[in-house]
């Protein structure tokens, strides 16, 4: 089952709730408006009807003043008693200009001034049509909750007397009490109509929006799915690449180890055959030892690469580090080689692993010495920005023959070597160390001859 909080469902629930709220609010705000409109329309009808009847039977202002006179009473009866036959009419009162009831369906009211809406009556006397809605009043007796007075609508309409050549003048006011049932029915119908129009429009809007939302949502879901598939595919490819790179590396290691090992086996076989000749066996054993040492060297180099993964950074004086490395080079490679240092003229402190950086620099100086054993090797340290990041460049320059274009692409690949004694690990280890410090390594042939290998380290290293 789909989760109830899924976005399309949430959207549907919220939209439907909003439509329901909209319909309810519309009902409450529009009902009084409808009621007033209908009351006003009814009042106008009552006014027209009452005035038409008064004119038809020739009722005049004096009839209303002298309502006790039988001829006047007859005219008033003829005019207004027919109004009683209108549906839901409770009472009819006709007031003269002195606000005295001159005619009513209830004869007891004649000559009185009874009205509960004096203000409305006054306004009607000034020619305004007045309509009042009186809601039902319930009895205050808790044992009898029936309505004490039913809801009524009161109309106060001016009766206008128009004489030829004179402006129309109000001669009295007709007041009519009516039950609001018909009106309420009309209000209800009006509201139903309004609700169905708004509800229908709301539903159409909802369906259209829902379709749109659903479409956009499913498209987004689809895109996310595609993206996650792509990411998974990407991971798979990276994994495959890693595996194939590892396979390549393992193949290279096997190849490197294979030659000396084959040598060991061949030499051992030879020694077996020459067992009678101890001198020859001794010579062969020397060769076996040499091949074995070669294997050990390779294995040790590989193990050293592994050590690079564990680094211990510390604040290191780079000038001192370079001087120490040069001294170590002299010790292990011979003092006849000239290695010069051009310091930057200021102290350079970097947070690096000094053992690793020394090792990388040693590899570069060693390569430089091998490239030009008689020449001068120069080591320099200078500040340099790379892509806006401040840092320092440690360069080793020699005056050898440089490297070929073909070699350039493979310089930093493990086991790439052009030297018979080389393992081809020196530069790849140096690159690994530089990258571990967030830096980089670069090789360039100089126009003046020789090569320059530089390690760039950022001023703030992240290890
Ligand atoms: N200063 C240099 N001038 C010219 N070629 C260089 C220089 N340094 C390195 N090379 C080339 O790059 C190759 C790889 O160097 P790398 O230090 O990785 O291995 P190697 O020196 O051959 O062996 P190893 O350092 O493992 O004993 C070298 O064999 C050489 O061809
Ligand atoms: Mg080397």
As a CATH number, domain 7-137+148-179 is 3.30.450.20
Q: Give the separation between CA 134 and CA 147, rounded to whole angstroms.
A: 13
More confident residue, 157 or 12: 157
Q: What is the pLDDT of residue 1?
A: 47
- The reported pTM is 0.48
Ligand 1 contacts (CB < 6 A) are 363, 367-368, 371, 398, 400, 402-403, 407, 411, 416-419, 422-428, 451
Supply the angle between the helices 7-56 and 181-273 in degrees, to the nearest 10. 170
Domain 311-458: which CATH class?
alpha beta
Please list, in sequence order, all residues whose beta carbon lies within 8 angstroms of the beta carbon of residue 17, skipping any fewer than 6 positions away: none
Q: Which ligand 1 atom sits closest to the C-alpha of 411?
A: 12
Among 244-248, 353-357, 379-383, which is the least confidently predicted range?
Answer: 244-248
Cβ count within 10 A of residue 425: 21
Residue nearest to atom 9 of ligand 1 (CA): 367
- Interval between CA 407 and ligand 1 midpoint (Å): 10
Share above pLDDT 70 across residues of the chain, in percent, rounded to a whole number: 92
What pLDDT, in 10s, does the model give residues 389-441?
999 999 999 999 999 999 999 999 888 999 988 888 889 889 988 988 989 99
What pLDDT, in 10s, does the model give residues 263-290?
888 888 988 898 889 898 999 899 889 8
- Interval between CA 405 and ligand 1 midpoint (Å): 14
Cα first-last separation, the chain: 50
Using 50, 70 and 90 to split pLDDT, how confident is the model at 146? low
Q: In this model, does residue 338 exceed pLDDT 50?
A: yes
Share above pLDDT 90 across residues of the chain, in percent, rounded to a whole number: 37
Question: Ligand 1 pocket check: which of 424, 442, 446, 452 to mutate, most ligand atoms within 8 Å of Cβ?
Answer: 424
Q: What is the pLDDT of residue 423?
A: 81
Kind plus residue range of the DSSP H or E element containing 350: strand 349-352
Please list, in sequence order, all residues whose beta carbon lies within 8 angstroms of the beta carbon of residue 359, skipping any fewer than 6 positions away: 304, 429, 430, 433
Using 50, 70 and 90 to split pLDDT, how confident is the model at 6? confident
Residue nearest to atom 6 of ligand 1 (CA): 403
Asked if residue 94 lies in contact with residue 102, where contact means CB atoms within 8 angstroms, the answer is yes
Using alpha carbons only, give the angle 416, 262, 411 rounded to the nearest 5 degrees.
0
Q: In this model, does residue 153 exceed pLDDT 80?
A: yes
Using 50, 70 and 90 to split pLDDT, how confident is the model at 138? low
Cα distances from 187 to residues 58, 153, 176, 191, 244, in angstroms, run 36, 14, 20, 6, 83
What pLDDT, in 10s, does the model give residues 233-269?
777 776 666 666 666 677 777 777 887 888 888 888 9
- Interval between CA 425 and ligand 1 midpoint (Å): 8
Q: Give the separation between CA 369 and CA 338, rounded to whole angstroms.
A: 9
Ligand nearest to C-alpha 410: 1
Q: What is the pLDDT of residue 82?
A: 87
What pLDDT, in 10s, does the model give residues 51-73?
999 988 888 888 999 998 999 99
Using 50, 70 and 90 to split pLDDT, how confident is the model at 161? confident
Among 158-167, 338-347, 387-396, which is the least confidently predicted range?
Answer: 158-167
Q: For the chain, give the mean pLDDT.
A: 86
Using 50, 70 and 90 to split pLDDT, how confident is the model at 3? low
- Most confidently modeled range among 69-78, 114-123, 281-290, 376-385: 376-385
Q: Give the separation between CA 282 and CA 290, rounded to whole angstroms.
A: 13
Domain map of the chain by residue range? 7-137+148-179, 311-458
Strand, coil or helix: 172: strand
Q: In this model, does residue 320 exceed pLDDT 90?
A: yes
Cα distances from 328 to residues 239, 323, 325, 379, in angstroms, run 40, 9, 5, 14
Place of tokens 């780079």: 318
């Amino acid at each position: 089952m789909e989760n109830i909080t899924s976005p399309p469902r949430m959207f549907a629930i919220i939209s439907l709730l909003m439509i329901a709220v909209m319909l309810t609010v519309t009902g409450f705000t529009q009902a009084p408006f409808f009621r007033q409109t209908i009351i006003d329309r009814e009042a106008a009808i009552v006014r027209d009807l009452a005035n038409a009847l008064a004119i038809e039977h020739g009722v005049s202002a004096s009839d209303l003043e002298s309502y006790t006179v039988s001829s006047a009473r007859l005219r008033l009866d003829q005019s207004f008693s027919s109004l009683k036959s209108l549906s839901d009419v409770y009472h009819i009162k006709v007031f003269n200009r002195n606000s005295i009831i001159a005619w009513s369906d209830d004869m007891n009211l004649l000559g009185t001034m009874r009205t509960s809406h004096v203000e409305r009556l006054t306004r009607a006397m000034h020619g305004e049509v007045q309509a009042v809605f009186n809601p039902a009043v319930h009895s205050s007796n808790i044992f009898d909750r029936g309505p004490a007075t039913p809801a009524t609508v009161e109309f106060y309409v001016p009766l206008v007397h128009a004489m030829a050549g004179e402006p129309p003048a109000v001669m009295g006011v007709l007041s009519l009490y009516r039950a609001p049932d018909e009106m309420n029915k009309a209000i209800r119908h009006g509201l139903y109509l309004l609700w169905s129009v708004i509800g229908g429009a709301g539903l159409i809007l909802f369906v259209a929006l829902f379709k749109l939302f659903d479409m956009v949502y499913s498209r987004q879901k689809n895109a996310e799915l595609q993206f996650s598939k792509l990411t998974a595919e990407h991971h798979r490819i990276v994994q495959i690449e890693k595996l194939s790179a590892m396979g390549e590396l393992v193949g290279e290691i096997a190849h490197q180890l294979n030659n000396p090992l084959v040598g060991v086996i061949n030499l051992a076989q030879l020694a077996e055959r020459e067992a009678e000749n101890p001198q020859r066996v001794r010579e062969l054993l020397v060769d076996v030892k040499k091949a074995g040492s070669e294997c050990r060297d390779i294995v040790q180099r590989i193990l050293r690469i592994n050590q690079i993964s564990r680094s211990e950074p510390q604040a290191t004086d780079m000038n001192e580090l370079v001087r120490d490395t040069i001294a170590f080079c002299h010790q292990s490679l011979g003092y006849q080689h000239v290695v010069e240092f051009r310091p930057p003229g200021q102290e350079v402190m970097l947070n690096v692993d000094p053992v690793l950086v020394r090792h990388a620099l040693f590899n570069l100086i060693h390569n430089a010495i091998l490239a030009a054993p008689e020449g001068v090797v120069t080591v320099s340290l200078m500040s340099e920005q790379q892509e806006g990041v401040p840092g320092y460049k440690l360069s080793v320059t020699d005056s050898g023959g440089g490297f070929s274009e073909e070699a350039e692409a493979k310089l930093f690949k493990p086991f790439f070597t052009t030297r018979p004694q080389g393992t081809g690990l020196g530069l790849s280890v140096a690159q690994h160390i530089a990258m571990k410090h967030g830096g980089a390594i670069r090789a360039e042939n100089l126009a003046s001859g020789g090569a320059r290998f530089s390690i760039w380290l950022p001023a703030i290293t992240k290890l």
